[in-house]
Amino acid sequence: MNHKGEYYQRDREWHPPAFDKGYKTSVTRSPQYALISLENSPSEITGPVFGHNDIDPLDNDLISNYAQPGESPIGERIIVHGRVLDENARPVPNTLVEIWQANAGGRYRHKKDTYLAPIDPNFGGCGRTLTDENGYYYFRTVKPGAYPWRNYINSWRPAHIHVSVFGASFAQRLITQLYFEGDPLIPRCPIVNTIPDPDAIQQLVAKLDLNATIPLDTIAYKFDIVLRGRRSTLFENRLEGN
Amino acid sequence: MEQKLDYLKETPSQTAGPYVHIGLAPGAAGFDIYRQELGWDIAGPNAKGERIRVEGIVIDGTGSPVKDVLLEAWQANSQGIYAHPEHDGEVEEGFRGWGRVITDFDTGEWGFDTVKPGPVMGRNGQMMAPHINLWIVARGINIGLNTRIYFDDEAEANAADPVINGVEWERRRQTLIARRTERDGQVVYRFDIRLQGGDETVFFDI
């Protein structure tokens, strides 16, 4: 019988480092001392559990979840779908996936966003869902627009959707950003380029998925998410101390 | 013949950005959308143990409060049990053990109400002192920062804690310990987080 052991060590060369001078805000918000590595204890291998009582079935439909009756947001109607897997390629079922994004013009519904592109009265910009037993999730939304930000004076974020995933443990907790295939702003973005490995960047680019489109209705992008995998304790390592 | 290792790579992290509230705390962003936002109630009404408040600010490398942070807490109940199927034991009905708070846009203050966790059995039969696991994301933070909140009135347990003792520099251990005070009859633990500098908070690679 395979007991579950620790999560695989996170590959910190694959993830962005804390400090990257090209992304200016990181300069004063990055720890200077090395992280202290912890062996997993129950504090790390457990994490919050969510159920269908926590959310509503239509929380994953950003086209309707803030629209006035009979109205829709302006923009390119898209489906974003995929699976949440672990590094062993096993599905991560019943896990909470939350997203947020700007509207089609690149404007966020946030009191701190002062970009001159207008708010869409029928678009909130957030959604959430639980993966099914196969780790599958889907959202319907509009494709977000690029927007300017004060890094360099002419910096523009590529179109992106922020994605938050829990997994089965606090050690798997992850926030990232989804980009769209072919966007010429991707290689120019200082936040994207905090990731050192081009293959890692490719992992954040959702691919056009014509097979999943709804003809004459909604175009689709596929975005699989990989969370940390776990050892099997083939030989006991007394994780729980008993 | 070459034998391929067919592990996948973890999806790389990206900063949560300045508008993390839209997705994870939309009320704070300025609009109501969900029937209920998640993470407001960590312990629930039935939790046993001492009711406490934990609060602080997050300070950047210039000494300024950071006003766009989102923090998530993960803790055991007062008996040291996590609300998770892999942890043996029962928690009180309504005890989730997880919470989510944001810093105030004007002051940078954050805080949450919960119960004080009990000690949790760690690795190799070593008991861990009571602690709350914390995860911090914000604009400028490329990958979420993990730390732990310990309590200064648990000096004996803290002295035996394997994680605290894993920090070689005794002076840095102090950055993990919240200070107990009382305010209007309520127990309040103060825990300021310093992202950078000489008295930088200890962050973990968990």
pLDDT single digits (tens) A124-165: 999 999 999 999 999 999 999 999 999 999 999 999 999 999
Interface test with A, best of B4, B5, B6, B14 (most A CBs within 10 A): B14
Q: Is A157 a catalytic residue?
A: yes
- pLDDT of A21 over the 80 cut: yes
With contacts defined as CB-CB under 8 Å, which chain B residues touch A32? 61, 196-197, 200
Q: For residue A52, is pLDDT > 80?
A: yes
Q: How far apart are CA A220 and CA A214, in angstroms?
A: 8
Secondary structure of residue B118 in the 3-state scheme:
coil
Tell me the C-alpha distance between A202 and A225, whole Å.
12
Residue in chain B closest to A110 (alpha carbons) equals B29
User: Considering chain A, what is the average pLDDT of its residues?
Assistant: 95
Mark the ranges of chain B whose per-residue pLDDT is less than 50.
none
A241: pLDDT strictly greater than 50:
no
Cβ contacts of A120 on chain B, cutoff 8 Å: none
- In sign, the C-alpha dihedral spanning A38, B53, B33, B92 is positive
Does B120 sit within 8 Å of A42, measured CB to CB?
Answer: yes
What residues contact B138, with CB distance under 8 A and at least 6 apart?
A29, B15, B16, B20, B58, B66, B68, B69, B70
Reported as a pLDDT band with limits 50, 70 and 90, residue A232 is confident
> Do the Cβ atoms of A203 and B163 come within 8 Å?
no
pLDDT tens-place string over residues B102-116: 999 999 999 999 999
Has residue A242 got a pLDDT over 50?
Answer: no
* Alpha-carbon gap, residue A190 to A174, rounded angstroms: 20
List, for residues A67-78, the tens digit of each pLDDT value.
999 999 999 999
Look up the ipTM and state it.
0.96
Instruction: Indicate the residue of A14, A30, A199 with minimum beta-carbon distance to B196.
Output: A30
Helix (DSSP H) and strand (DSSP E) numbers for chain A: 3, 14
pLDDT value, residue B1: 75
Yes or no, beta carbons of A43 and B131 under 8 Å apart: yes
Pair B165, A42: CB distance under 8 Å: no
With a cut of 70, say whether residue A81 has pLDDT above it.
yes
